[in-house]
A = this chain, B = another copy of it.
Amino acid sequence: MNTEDIKGFFASREQLDMADYLTLDYYLECVGDIETALAHFCSEQSTAQWKRVDHDEDFRPKYAARVISLTIEGELEALSYPVVHFETGPIHACRVTIAHPHRNFGAKLPNLLTAVCGEGVFFTPGVPVVKLLDIGFPEAYLRAFDGPKFGIDGIRDLLQAYDRPIFFGVVKPNIGLSPANFAEIAYQSWLGGLDIAKDDEMLADVDWSSLIERSRVLGEARARAEKETGEPKIYLANVTDEVDRLLEQHDIAVSNGANALLINALPVGLSAVRMLARHTKVPLIGHFPFIAAFSRMEKYGVHSRVMTKLQRLAGLDSIIMPGFGSRMMTPEEEVKDNIAECLQEFGHIRRSLPVPGGSDSALTLETVYRKVGSVDFGFVPGRGIFGHPMGPRAGAMSIRQAWEAIEQGISLETYAVGRPELEVMVDGINRKK
């Protein structure tokens, strides 16, 4: 590209009608001349050849992605990660904001993904290291999306649970239980105080635990638990399946008594989530398989907040995400970013309930609560409830007792006295120390 060509890929916000553009924030490592690399970066993701041969025309004013902000963070001695590349010259770490015209693809999730993290973005000469950090949407674009049908408020209304976190539990053993045994364990956990007994993200419709049978017995168990406790309860059935079975799986599970559905958003695809969200009669809760594969590197791939935002846009009423526990290997700020993505203003799109998960128990509830900074979150132990030495009912009780201690400003150790369900958890950790 010559100097004139390069200029066509730079603009100021003032020069553009920003209602026509998404804003894309990227971290980039550029090799060689920075402006040339950035012009290619815009060109490859939008209009890689902006005129026909022998025609006097320029498609860039309408269709080009353009750099509207650039911060050069510094020069690097080498790329942050080894990547085969052929350009030479100095290497600069840059933060850029790109205005990308959404008329190029429209309000469709697969086409959006293609534009913002597709071939153009990851295969630009001179830009071997790329991380998509965030996407900003104008109101005009957001209006095409419905977002969550229930959101946090809908889930709270369903459970009649206000002013506190929502207590989930992943029934364990996660794989191998017969539906009848699964139902008995879920039932016990509801009696102990869980709001939501959930299928593991790896448990779906399998011959040893078909969704039709599992949802039937769980629906019955839920009705018994509601009667016994006088409280609404949720059985969260995992309907993750081939996309042409999702609506049917929804109908089977819901008619049998599942009153919320789990869906593995990336494995089925965000567009399938959007389809299911249009159809659903109950809240949809997303789980995060596959996300770590492209989000764990600090300076490469796609930031997890982008996926949280897109999952909310696609219509998930609640988003389970890698949380604060050490097993999750996720920086605390990143978890907080993802929680904020669920809760913050987003046009007309409802708030999603964030569920930062991973190796939780009565012992981690206070930490999670303090880090979240509000009661608007879901708490989702697995083994912390279902591996409790006194059984799942006691496991669920220990979680509620831990919340009571927090509410009353009493230490766990003190509150555990005379409450064996909590005491055994506190003693367990003390023994390990």
Contacts and interface: CB of A to CB of B under 8 A. Distances in A.
B386 A110 contact: no
Contacts of A105: 202, 204, 206
A268 interface: yes
Interface stretch (A21-29, A241-249, A366-374): A241-249
A289 B117 contact: yes
Given A52-B181, A172-B48, A329 B81 contact: no
Nearest to A109: B242
A392 interface: yes
Contacts of A128: 329
Contacts of A327: 123-125
B120 A176 contact: no
A interface majority secondary structure: loop
Contacts of A143: none
A309 interface: no
A83 interface: yes
Contacts of A46: 175, 202
Given A84-B330, A113-B290, A244 B63 contact: no
A419 interface: no
B294 A301 contact: yes
Contact of A383 (B48, B110, B117, B173): B48
User: Which one of A177, A244, A388 has the greatest number of beta carbons of chain B within 10 Å?
Assistant: A244
A348 B202 CA distance: 28
A49 interface: yes
A204 B108 contact: yes
A238 B337 CA distance: 35
A125 B327 CA distance: 5
Contacts of A242: 108-110, 271, 274-275
Contact of A173 (B50, B272, B275): B50
B113 A173 contact: no
Interface in A121-136: 122-125, 128, 132
A396 to B, nearest CB: 13
A292 B123 contact: yes
Nearest to A114: B289
Contacts of A117: 289-290, 293
A392 B111 CA distance: 27
Given A48-B174, A297-B81, A54 B391 contact: yes
A215 B386 CA distance: 56
Contacts of A124: 327
User: Which one of A204, A287, A391 has the greatest number of beta carbons of chain B within 10 Å?
Assistant: A204
A33 B289 CA distance: 26
A267 B292 CA distance: 17
Nearest to A287: B119
B206 A49 contact: no
Task: List the 6 closest A-B pairs by CB distance, nearest first.
Answer: A269-B269, A118-B289, A122-B292, A59-B176, A110-B267, A86-B326
30 contacts: A47-B176, A49-B386, A50-B176, A54-B391, A62-B176, A63-B175, A84-B330, A84-B331, A104-B202, A105-B202, A110-B242, A111-B241, A111-B267, A114-B264, A114-B289, A114-B290, A117-B289, A117-B293, A118-B202, A118-B264, A119-B288, A119-B322, A122-B292, A123-B329, A242-B271, A244-B271, A269-B270, A269-B271, A272-B272, A293-B302
Given A84-B329, A114-B264, 19 more contacts: A49-B172, A49-B387, A52-B173, A52-B181, A63-B175, A84-B331, A85-B326, A86-B326, A110-B242, A111-B267, A113-B264, A114-B289, A117-B290, A117-B293, A120-B202, A122-B293, A123-B329, A243-B269, A244-B278
Interface of A: 45-54, 59, 62-63, 81-86, 103-106, 108-111, 113-115, 117-120, 122-125, 128, 132, 172-177, 181, 185, 201-202, 204-208, 240-244, 264, 266-272, 274-275, 278, 287-290, 292-294, 296-298, 300-302, 322, 326-331, 358, 382-383, 386-392
